[in-house]
């Protein structure tokens, strides 16, 4: 098993979802090859889930010695048992604490990265959680690494496709009013820098999507391209970024187009996620760019409808763990 500089901290996510079973499945797949991780969560939820051993550990470094034989867990117990498929706001404070603890371990260097199993927003909102999701929460927890270009920026990765989002969890009707030159430039700078530091691409190439059909068709279908997106592309070029666009998004994601860029900058959520999930529905990875810690997650939700049935696939979580280890290694030599 390759020796990593430090284990990955894996927050358990919503314990009523598929998180516990895909965590165990990921451990089975990686126990002999790595990367090594430790779960931050409720050990009882994992104990006996599938007949595998669970080992409570006092500190994350202890995972190095136990990973081959048992799922290592920094135990932060729930106040009441989790029932598969039955999310409740009663678990919200523990779920939030698991994420905070994982982020703290990464920020101190005790963990090389964090990977977050899926959470559901509604139970957390009911308990007073004030963020649209993991990405925004981690952005608030971690100080930005760059004063003039800061995260969090969400990137999705599937096979040879990388897409970054200018707006993330926003209603589609709000997106046009949210877009501005500064927002797009910031996302482009963070993406370009992450491609260098996290993915080892020395001279990254970006493309930018339009917002409207046909990228606005010279203003006939909307002026956002003329008034906002083109000035942002020009500003990025003046800052030394290799970037082109805006392009109609319906022509950017086939194989020949993907070969011409290293990442696409998309204006809104589904514009980015649909091509990712079409290309690799089971294996996509969510990466948070622009933070001083490494964070990835599986590109899917909590799966309450199938939780506890034993049919959830761990492909995306396994890919997220491997990508987190790769990014941490790239940052170490950057």
- Confidence band, pLDDT 50/70/90 cuts, at residue 49: confident
What does the pLDDT read at residue 94? 95
pLDDT at 184: 98
Average pLDDT score over residue span 122-137: 84
pLDDT digits (tens, 9 = 90+) for 7-17: 999 999 999 99
pLDDT in tens, 186-240: 999 999 999 999 999 999 999 999 999 999 899 999 999 999 999 999 999 999 9
Q: Is 256 exposed, middle or buried (0-12, 13-18, 19+ CB in 10 A)?
A: exposed
Give CATH superfamily name and number for 1-142.
Answer: Isopropylmalate Dehydrogenase (3.40.718.10)
User: How does residue 136 score in pLDDT terms, banded at 50, 70 and 90?
Assistant: confident
Count CA atoms within 13 Å of residue 150 on its CB side: 11
Burial 196-208 (b: 16+ CB within 10 A, else e): ebbbebeebebbb
When mean pLDDT is compared across 71-85, 118-132, 262-276, 312-326, the lowest value belongs to 118-132
Give residues with Cβ within 8 angstroms of 256, minimum separation 6. none
Please tell me the predicted confidence (pLDDT) of residue 137: 86
- Residue 115, φ and ψ in degrees, nearest 5: -125, 135
Establish whether domains 1-142 and 144-290 are of one fold: yes
pLDDT of 52 > 80? The answer is no
Please tell me the predicted confidence (pLDDT) of residue 123: 87
Q: Residue 141 pLDDT > 70, yes or no?
A: yes
Instruction: Write down the domain spans for the chain.
Output: 1-142, 144-290
Res 114: pLDDT:
97
Residue 74: its pLDDT value, please? 98
Length of the chain: 334
Peptide bond into 152 cis (omega under 30): yes
pLDDT of the residue at 293: 93
pLDDT of residue 2: 41
User: Which residues face 242 on adjacent strands?
Assistant: 205
Encode 240-272 in three state secondary structure: CCEEEEEECHHHCCCHHHHCCCCEEEECCHHHH
Q: What is the mean pLDDT of residues 146-173?
A: 88
Which of the two residues, 283 and 52, has the higher pLDDT score? 283
pLDDT at residue 271, as a whole number? 97
Residue 146: predicted pLDDT:
44
For 75-125, the DSSP string reads E---SS--BTTB--GGGHHHHHHHHHHHHHHHHTTSSSEEEE----HHHHH
What's the chain's average pLDDT? 93
Q: What percent of the chain has pLDDT over 90?
A: 85
Is 70 exceeded by the pLDDT of residue 73? yes
* Percent of residues, the chain, with pLDDT higher than 70: 96
> What is the sign of the dihedral through the CA atoms of 4, 7, 11 and 15?
positive
User: Above 50 in pLDDT, residue 60?
Assistant: yes
| Contact partners, residue 319, CB within 8 Å, separation at least 6 | 283, 284, 285, 298
Per-residue confidence (pLDDT) for residue 148, from 0 to 100: 52
Q: What class does CATH assign to 144-290?
A: alpha beta
Task: Report the pLDDT averaged over residues 42-52.
Answer: 82
Nearest-angstrom CA–CA distance, 195 and 262: 8
pLDDT for residue 284: 95
27-31, 73-77, 124-128: lowest mean pLDDT where? 124-128
pLDDT at 4: 53
């Amino acid at each position: 098993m390759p020796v990593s500089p430090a284990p990955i901290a894996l927050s358990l996510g919503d314990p009523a979802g598929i998180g516990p079973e895909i965590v165990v499945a990921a451990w089975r797949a990686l126990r002999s090859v790595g990367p090594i991780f430790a779960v931050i969560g409720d050990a009882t939820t994992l104990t006996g889930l599938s007949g595998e051993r669970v080992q409570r550990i006092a500190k994350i470094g202890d995972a190095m010695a136990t990973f081959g034989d048992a799922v290592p867990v920094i135990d932060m117990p729930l106040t009441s048992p989790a029932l598969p498929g039955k999310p409740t706001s009663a678990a919200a404070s523990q779920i939030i604490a698991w994420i905070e603890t994982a982020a703290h371990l990464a920020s101190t260097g005790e963990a090389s990265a964090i990977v977050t199993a899926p959470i559901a927003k509604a139970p957390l909102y009911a308990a007073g959680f004030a963020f649209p999701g993991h990405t925004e929460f981690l952005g608030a927890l971690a100080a930005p690494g760059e004063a003039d270009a800061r995260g969090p920026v969400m990137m999705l990765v599937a096979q040879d496709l990388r897409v970054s989002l200018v707006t993330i969890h926003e209603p589609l009707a709000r997106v046009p009013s949210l877009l501005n030159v500064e927002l797009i430039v910031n996302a482009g700078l963070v993406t370009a820098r992450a491609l260098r530091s996290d993915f080892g691409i020395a001279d990254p190439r970006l493309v930018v999507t339009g917002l409207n059909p046909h990228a606005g068709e010279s203003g006939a279908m909307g002026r956002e391209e003329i008034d906002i997106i083109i000035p942002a592309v020009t500003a990025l070029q003046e800052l030394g970024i290799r970037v082109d666009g805006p392009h109609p998004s319906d022509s950017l994601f086939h194989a020949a187009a993907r070969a011409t860029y290293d990442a696409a900058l998309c204006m809104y959520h589904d514009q980015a996620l649909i091509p990712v999930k079409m290309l690799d529905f089971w294996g996509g990875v969510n990466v948070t760019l622009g933070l001083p810690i490494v964070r990835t997650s599986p590109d899917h939700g909590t799966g309450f409808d199938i939780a506890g049935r034993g049919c959830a696939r761990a492909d995306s979580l396994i890919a997220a763990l491997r990508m987190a280890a790769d990014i941490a290694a790239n940052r170490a030599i950057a």
